[in-house]
């Protein structure tokens, strides 16, 4: 990872304020150590107040001033908020939802980039930004649009539906192929031509799974293509790197979109109670582009807020801990939304560095604390990067779509199944076990890993299995499940074997039954007598190879009595572990904690410092290959780490006594040999 400055930034909207406020803003930014602003994403109506009248002169002036003040700029393409003239009187240019409701001007993300007029206007404004600002010395990066699909998901605009038909034709070649692949003869859904295939609009009951999954994958491809087009325009004008500010919960294909960007950034608003949400994002987006630092493009200084909703404001000390976690986990920028509280719009309750009346806000002192931490860390991190993880969790965009379409294992009353929540729960277990980790895309290389956990990925395709099999053969431990492998790439049930013949052969199991365990009181037995409550979409396995070891069986009162829910087998130099039910409750949680730790320990994963839960260790590796560590208390309870002999505090240079080291509430320590 190349040495980069640590940026401390704000999202800035000078166009919303009197021109005379600029100097005052810059002076206060300089006092606080703000060295980056992100701007432009909602400024289309200022740049092009009437169709074709484009001028970036005002912003050039702002950029000149920021540059002179030593503040770098990320310029955004303003496509999420087209001006009134583009859509007024043109409902056909607007986003349409599944119920046929056409969005209106008055908020954001209301225009349909599927409409050719909207698309052309977007291209024109992006072209103008690139041509006018592409070589401006203040600009160190470009952001395309803003949080694609944060408010809306799939677009049912007629142009989108026409594109859907083209996409299907391209993908399946003939309608017979589509019918066969999906199995459309269920309920006489068989199609005669591609243009008959509906987008999943209202029907009396549910749509076909294959169609629903394909539609969502198509829609994600469309937004990625729109982003790529903008990037291609910008690349003609600028050498600076291009990003997009993802949100992990939005309706996009993160893996696909990351390929089109030079670096990835994300927006996250973790609250003190959900501190590990931010950690999850870092572990995912750091791994998305292994050789390029990721950025935090938006977070709040104290609390999030819009009409009718605001989060609990951060406790004192939380923001600095969030920033240190970000830098320690590989981010090179910590940027707040927003600089000055909105005086209008619908986000007036949102925290900002400065109030609308330009006084320090409730978060202002916290921003100063972040700046002190940034200054202390910058020299240490200049030539270091996070040590490569040995444990990872698989992120599958398709798996997520499939679970949205078919929430296997969900019970409307007792047990919600949500892909993101499931992955975050697994991720939190890795954190609590003190294991440095990545969240790696389904298509990512497995280099350097010793253990890979792949839960909730309904489809395990051949490409993924090829990679996993080779890696296991070379020594990796793959933990497959719960739920993983139960559907095909076309979102059907496998028919050659319950989990597909290849996965079953690799794992040395035969899947006998699959059924929902939630609410059934099912118990698994491990270590001869220990009972573990099980939930979710369960599978009962029978070993099909002598090499398969059954580690957990179903209790005698289960209809699948004696069959396995936890198996393992050696494969080459590695191991495949099947976990086919979800341990639940306190007992299940405790067992999972032990399970995660033993998988890592048996695979020889290095863990350092035995951090108490709620305290994180972020191992670093410097340019000479030397390891050092940052310990941060994230839960505000204070915690401990166990340190060996011979360490010094990397900030003060003082020796650190071997043994248990206390890390105070939201405090952090940098430790070197
Ligand atoms: C983000 C968005 C910002 C602002 C912020 C408030 O989703 O990109 O423009 O709305 O949330 O938390």
How does pLDDT run across 474-483, given as a tens digit for each residue?
Answer: 999 999 999 9
> Where are the strands (E) in 387-473, listed by range?
391-395, 437-441, 451-454
| Residue 108 CB neighbours (<10 A) | 17
Token pair listed for 130:
């690139």
Under 8 Å between Cβ of 168 and 221: no
Question: Distance, CA 487 to ligand 1 centroid (Å)?
Answer: 36
Mutate-to-test residue for ligand 1 from 16, 74, 147, 314, highest number of ligand atoms within 8 A of CB: 147
Pairing type for strands 582-583 and 309-310 reads: unpaired
CA 45: distance to chain centroid? 31
| Residue 292 CB neighbours (<10 A) | 20
pLDDT at residue number 147:
98
Question: Is residue 146 marked as binding?
Answer: yes
| Residue 593 CB neighbours (<10 A) | 15
Q: Which residue has its alpha carbon closest to ligand 1 atom 3?
A: 337
Quick check: 1 pLDDT over 60? no
pLDDT at residue number 292:
94
Contacts of 530 (CB under 8 A, 6+ apart): 591
The upper half-sphere exposure of residue 445, i.e. CA atoms within 13 Å in the direction of its Cβ, equals 7
Distance CA 233, CA 227 (A): 10
Contacts of 356 (CB under 8 A, 6+ apart): 340, 341, 342, 343, 348
Burial class (CB in 10 A: 0-12, 13-18, 19+), 549: middle
pLDDT at residue number 400:
98
Determine whether the shortest distance from the Cβ of 298 to ligand 1 is under 6 A. yes
Q: pLDDT digits over 632-671, tens only?
A: 999 999 999 999 999 999 999 999 999 999 999 999 999 9
**Sorting pLDDT into bands at 50, 70 and 90, what band is 534?**
very high
Residue 618's nearest CA partner among 547, 669, 563 is: 669
Quick check: 590 pLDDT over 50? yes
Determine whether the shortest distance from the Cβ of 267 to ligand 1 is under 6 A. yes
Question: Is residue 17 marked as binding?
Answer: no
Instruction: Name the architecture of domain 391-602.
Output: 3-Layer(aba) Sandwich (3.40)
pLDDT at residue number 74:
98
**Sorting pLDDT into bands at 50, 70 and 90, what band is 4?**
low
Domain extent listing, the chain? 7-155+240-381, 391-602, 615-672
Contacts of 398 (CB under 8 A, 6+ apart): 213, 217, 442, 459, 489
Helices 116-133 and 209-235 cross at an angle (nearest 10°) of: 30
Determine whether the shortest distance from the Cβ of 504 to ligand 1 is under 6 A. no
Q: pLDDT digits over 649-660, tens only?
A: 999 999 999 999
pLDDT at residue number 415:
82
Task: Indicate the SS3 state at residue 280.
Answer: helix
pLDDT at residue number 413:
81
Question: Distance, CA 337 to ligand 1 centroid (Å)?
Answer: 7
Cα-based distances in Å from 628 to 331, 390, 393, 457, 648: 17, 16, 24, 35, 10
Determine whether the shortest distance from the Cβ of 160 to ligand 1 is under 6 A. no
What percent of the chain is predicted at pLDDT more than 90?
97
What percent of the chain is predicted at pLDDT more than 70?
99
Instruction: Give the global pTM.
Output: 0.97
Under 8 Å between Cβ of 333 and 296: yes
Token pair listed for 144:
């395309």
Q: Which residue has its alpha carbon closest to ligand 1 atom 2?
A: 147
Q: pLDDT digits over 171-228, tens only?
A: 999 999 999 999 999 999 999 999 999 999 989 999 999 999 999 999 999 999 999 9
Q: Which residue has its alpha carbon closest to ligand 1 atom 10?
A: 347
Token pair listed for 643:
């340190």
Question: Distance, CA 65 to ligand 1 centroid (Å)?
Answer: 26
- How much is the average pLDDT of 501-526? 97
Determine whether the shortest distance from the Cβ of 297 to ligand 1 is under 6 A. no
Quick check: 525 pLDDT over 60? yes
Place of tokens 């000479």: 624
Q: Which residue has its alpha carbon closest to ligand 1 atom 12?
A: 304
Question: Distance, CA 544 to ligand 1 centroid (Å)?
Answer: 52
Determine whether the shortest distance from the Cβ of 146 to ligand 1 is under 6 A. yes
Distance CA 56, CA 46 (A): 9
Q: Is the model more confident about 413 or about 399?
A: 399
Under 8 Å between Cβ of 214 and 194: no
Distance CA 405, CA 161 (A): 19
Quick check: 247 pLDDT over 70? yes
Question: Is residue 515 marked as binding?
Answer: no
Fold topology of 7-155+240-381? TIM Barrel (3.20.20)
Positions marked active-site: 147, 298
CA 446: distance to chain centroid? 18
Quick check: 3 pLDDT over 60? no
Select the CATH number that applies to the domain covering 615-672 from these four: 2.40.110.10, 2.60.40.1180, 3.30.565.10, 3.40.50.300.
Answer: 2.60.40.1180
**Average pLDDT along the chain:** 97
List alpha helices for 173-253, DSSP H: 175-182, 209-235
Determine whether the shortest distance from the Cβ of 15 to ligand 1 is under 6 A. no
- How much is the average pLDDT of 456-475? 98
Question: Distance, CA 347 to ligand 1 centroid (Å)?
Answer: 9
Phi, psi of 36 (to 5 degrees): -150, 140
**Sorting pLDDT into bands at 50, 70 and 90, what band is 606?**
confident
Quick check: 384 pLDDT over 50? yes
CA 125: distance to chain centroid? 29
**Sorting pLDDT into bands at 50, 70 and 90, what band is 2?**
very low
Give me the count of residues in the chain. Answer: 673
Cα-based distances in Å from 125 to 92, 102, 336, 339: 20, 24, 26, 25
Quick check: 577 pLDDT over 50? yes
């Amino acid at each position: 990872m190349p040495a980069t400055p640590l940026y401390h930034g704000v999202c800035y909207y000078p166009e919303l304020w009197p021109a005379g406020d600029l100097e005052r803003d810059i002076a206060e930014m300089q006092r606080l150590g703000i060295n980056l602003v992100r701007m432009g994403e909602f400024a289309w109506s200022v740049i092009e107040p009437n169709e074709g009248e484009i001028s970036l002169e005002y912003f050039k002036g702002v950029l000149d001033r920021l540059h002179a003040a030593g503040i770098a700029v990320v310029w955004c393409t303003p496509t999420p908020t087209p001006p009134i003239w583009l859509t007024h009187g043109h409902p056909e240019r607007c986003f349409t939802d599944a119920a046929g409701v056409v969005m209106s001007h008055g908020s954001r993300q209301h225009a349909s980039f599927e409409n050719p007029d909207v698309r052309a206007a977007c291209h024109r404004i992006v072209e103008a930004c690139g041509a006018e600002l592409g070589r401006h010395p203040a600009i160190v990066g470009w952001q395309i649009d803003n949080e694609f699909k944060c408010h809306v998901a799939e677009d049912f605009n007629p142009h989108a539906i026409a594109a859907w038909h083209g996409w299907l034709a391209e993908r399946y070649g003939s309608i017979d192929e589509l019918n066969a692949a999906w199995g459309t003869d269920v309920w006489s859904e068989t199609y005669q031509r591609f243009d008959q295939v509906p987008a999943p609009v209202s029907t009396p009951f549910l749509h076909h799974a294959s169609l629903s999954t394909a539609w969502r994958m198509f829609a994600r491809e469309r937004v990625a293509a729109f982003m790529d087009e903008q990037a291609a325009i910008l690349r003609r004008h600028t050498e600076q790197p291009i990003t997009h500010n993802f949100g992990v919960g939005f309706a996009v294909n993160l893996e696909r979109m990351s390929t089109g960007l030079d670096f990835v950034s994300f927006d996250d608003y973790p609250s003190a109670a959900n501190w590990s949400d931010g950690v999850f994002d870092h572990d995912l987006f750091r791994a998305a582009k292994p050789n390029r630092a990721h950025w935090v493009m938006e977070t709040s200084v104290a609390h999030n807020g819009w009409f009718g909703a605001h989060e609990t404001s951060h406790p004192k000390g939380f923001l600095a801990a969030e920033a240190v976690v970000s830098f320690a986990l590989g981010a090179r920028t910590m940027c707040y939304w927003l600089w000055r509280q909105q005086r209008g719009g619908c986000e007036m309750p949102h925290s900002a560095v400065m109030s609308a009346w330009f006084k320090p806000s409730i978060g202002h002192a916290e921003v100063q604390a972040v700046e002190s931490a940034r200054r202390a860390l910058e020299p240490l991190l200049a030539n270091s990067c996070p040590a490569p993880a040995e444990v990872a969790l698989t992120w599958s965009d398709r798996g997520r779509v499939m679970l949205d379409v078919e929430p296997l294992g969900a019970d409307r009353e007792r047990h919600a199944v949500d892909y993101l929540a499931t992955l975050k729960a697994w991720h939190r277990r890795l954190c609590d076990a003190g294991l440095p980790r990545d969240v790696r895309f389904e298509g990512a290389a497995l280099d350097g890993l010793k253990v890979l956990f792949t839960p909730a990925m309904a489809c395990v395709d051949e490409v993924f299995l090829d990679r996993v099999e080779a890696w296991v053969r070379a020594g990796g431990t793959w933990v497959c499940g719960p739920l993983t492998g139960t559907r095909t790439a076309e979102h059907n049930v496998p028919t050659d074997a319950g989990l597909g013949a290849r996965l079953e052969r690799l794992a040395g199991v035969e899947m006998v039954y699959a059924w929902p365990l939630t609410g059934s009181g099912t118990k698994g037995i491990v270590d001869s007598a220990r009972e573990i409550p099980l939930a979710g979409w369960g599978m009962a396995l029978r070993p099909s190879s002598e090499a398969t070891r059954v580690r957990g069986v179903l209790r005698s009162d289960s209809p699948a009595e004696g069959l396995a829910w936890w198996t393992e087998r050696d494969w080459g130099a590695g191991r495949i572990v099947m976990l086919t039910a979800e341990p639940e409750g306190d007992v299940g949680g405790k067992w999972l904690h032990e399970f995660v730790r033993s998988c890592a320990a048996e695979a020889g994963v290095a863990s350092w410092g035995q951090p108490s839960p709620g305290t994180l260790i972020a191992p670093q590796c410097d340019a000479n290959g030397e390891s050092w560590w940052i310990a941060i208390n994230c839960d505000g309870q204070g915690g401990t780490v166990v340190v060996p002999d011979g360490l010094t505090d990397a900030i003060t240079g003082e020796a650190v006594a071997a043994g248990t080291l206390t890390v105070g509430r939201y405090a952090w320590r940098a430790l070197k040999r």
